[in-house]
Structure 1
């Protein structure tokens, strides 16, 4: 495609759809390029027992509340996938998939996006590629020598493959606690964390997290991190209260057949599940001179990237907008990005 579009959104998960919703309300012609084969973003790849921290009504994108679930109060991932697919159709969002954007450069005042389905030119780009496709595994000594199975939480598909096995779960945040609790009924689980687990109060769910994040944005309070690291969803709470979900210090190294603890004790293992987070998938930005600090693209506390007019990053984490990586939290930042895109286009015109 050689015509210059006002805007292109890269990524069709929850952040990309929110951006498209507000761009359409701004009257900005645009297209959403999504590398996935089907709607749903990262929610298509989660483990079966995963549920949202909040009820459906508090887990919604702008414009349309997520329909309630049957039975359980908090939706599971398939419910979210169905909602995102219906959201696209409801607002007739211009999503094209699968289109993988390989790089973006700047030429004659416009962005040029190279993809596996041709070239796209735009005056503004909203990056919403998320983090799921870039799982992070720490450089633990001996990791290459371990002969057992290793899987990141991004590829964890449930407890069945680990039944009757000795499993090390590494990671002290939500995914680590949830995966460890998921495995406990079928496997011998060791849960290794860098420090003691910090559980949020049991009554705290996604509604309270969003309220605290929003208050922090207004300069009130210390933000979500002050509450803790782990939301005590029912399976985690049950395992914790039963004394089954017990954290141990982070391992010192892996061996071919197990792990060595900090005190020198060696434990035999059959598998390791790395619940160690993700990094933003921004490899497609390599063709631009974007400001970086300690390896991370610099933003202004919101979606705009300083020094690169027309470039916005949405939904990667708090560094590009408090709670922007959540369903309910991304809307305010998508609205801001769309407004700035519209204002920029008007100035250019």
Structure 2
């Protein structure tokens, strides 16, 4: 196989990581810590134009103070963040510093079109910058580039604006308008609370009554939530979002909104009309905008040639490993679709892959005899830094995204 790097060359690497959000960066850090050298033994591919994963695409009025928990990346705390700054800037800057500090060398923007079985037991990762032949794959592509828009009767006749929450531009775009917000997750509530003060009227509809959660969400609750989601992926079913089993954290702003009637929830309407929506009992409201805060789906279409899906529609998992192909690990998928879950999944994926591959190559070119520790001076340094930094949590200990994870080739 040509490893010269010339036009049309197929470059061999030990492990390819797709996505440079929380999950991808965690995996890349753990690979380097184990002794794999970035851009020699591994390649980190990111579709996004800048550091930050899906956070870089969040709306400007989502300040860091409104983020429901952000777990630090392994080995480096997020400190001194201004809560009034947009979360896209705070977390994007943090990810950029992290990439630089640990020399992770992401390639961006790079589109991954497909991953296929290749010769010699390798996986061919086809990208916009060429093809990589990898012995192992860590997929951390999240969900951001697969917003879910449900098909509803009458959508085609509505004369107003219809958009998904992923394209939410901020509240000013809805000033003086009548807005129907569809969906029961965190983004639905956050955007509804921003829109309500400037809109002419708002209506909130959900398929199921939302469950609000008071009090802290600790490790025990987190483990129970993850276990519930994990059962589905072990059975080969499509993952549900972690927030679907945790409920919505009740904040002071949400309490005020509930008292003011903003969070008065209505059941799902029956159909959409030219100028609004109608319920089964004949009641109706007029609307200028339908805002779909209906979540996302895992962005894993590029893995289709590997035939990993089960009859139930999902990828059956054993931990982070795809049962149908032990060379493939998914992080930020299903139960690891949270910032703390992504960190743990990155560590687990690297541990399993290192055992499967027999350890990273020695600096001199040989292969390690075991998979227990760092193989290089860089790896030893990262080991020390990680031990010194610990795995403490910056201020907000548990992050549960609305959709269950982050982005096609951008990670979570």
**TM-score normalised over the length of structure 1:** 0.89
- For 1:236 and 1:81, the matched residues in 2 are separated by 27
Which of 199, 202, 208 is the matching residue for 1:189? 202
| Residue 68 of structure 2 is aligned to residue 53 of structure 1 | yes
**Alpha-carbon contact 2:225-2:245 (below 8 Å) kept:** no
Structure 1 SS opposite 2:158 = coil
Match in the other structure for 1:12: 20
Q: Offset at 1:134?
A: 0.3
Paired with 2:76 and 2:134, the residues of 1 have a C-alpha distance of 28
Question: Distance between the aligned counterparts of 2:218 and 2:86, measured in 1?
Answer: 17
Structure with bigger RCO (C-alpha 8 Å, 6+ apart): 2
1:167 aligns with 2:179: yes
**1:260, 1:218 → 2: CA distance?**
38
Q: Deviations over 1:243-268 (max 9, x none)?
A: 33211111111111111123221211
Q: 2:212 aligns with which of 160, 183, 199?
A: 199
2:106 corresponds to 1:95? yes
Pair 1:117-2:135 in alignment: no
Which residue of the partner structure matches residue 314 of structure 1?
331
Structure 1 residue 70: deviation in Å? 2.9
Aligned counterparts of 1:102 and 1:316: Cα–Cα separation in 2: 19
Deviating runs (4+, > 4 A) in structure 1?
Answer: 215-219, 222-228
Unaligned runs of 5+ in 2: 1-8, 232-240, 361-366, 368-412
**Counterpart secondary structure, 1:329:** helix
Encode CA deviations 1:195-252: one digit per residue, 9 max, x unaligned. 2221011x33xxx255522356689xx9976975212234323212333321111111
Q: Which residue of 2 aligns with 1:321?
A: none
Counterpart selection for 1:25 from 14, 33, 37:
33
Task: Determine the structure 2 residue equivalent to 1:304.
Answer: 321
Give the drift of 1:328: 2.4
How far apart are 1:159 and its partner, in Å? 0.8
CA distance in 2, matches of 1:308, 1:13: 23
2:184 is aligned with 1:213 = no
- In structure 2, relative to structure 1, the CA distance for the partners of 1:36 and 1:210 (3 Å cut) is farther
Partner SS, residue 48 of structure 1? coil
Change (3 A) 1:224 1:289: closer
Counterparts of 2:227 and 2:332 in 1: how far apart (Å)? 19
Tell me the number of residue pairs that the alignment of Structure 1 and Structure 2 aligns: 333
Q: For residues 304 and 230 of structure 1, what CA distance do their matches in structure 2 show?
A: 30
Q: Aligned partners of 1:276, 1:182: CA distance in 2, in Å?
A: 17
Is contact 2:242-2:334 (8 Å) kept?
no
- SS across alignment from 1:291: coil
Coordinate RMSD, CA, aligned: 2.4
Secondary structure of residue in 2 paired with 1:297: coil
Work out whether residues 11 and 33 of structure 1, in 8 Å CA contact, stay in contact via their aligned partners in 2: yes
Q: Distance in 1 between matches of 2:136 and 2:92?
A: 28
Once residues 266 and 99 of structure 1 are traced to their aligned partners in structure 2, the CA distance between those partners, rounded to angstroms, is 46
Contact 1:174/1:229, CA 8 A, preserved across alignment: no
Per-residue CA distance 1:37-90 (angstroms, 9 max, x = gap): 111111011123332113xxx521111111132356x98332111111111111
- Change in Cα spacing, 1:325 to 1:30, as seen in structure 2 (3 Å) is same
Alignment of 1:195-344 (within 5 A): 195-201=208-214, 203-204=215-216, 208=217, 211-214=220-223, 228-300=246-318, 302-318=319-335, 324-344=336-356
CA distance in 2, matches of 1:198, 1:295: 27
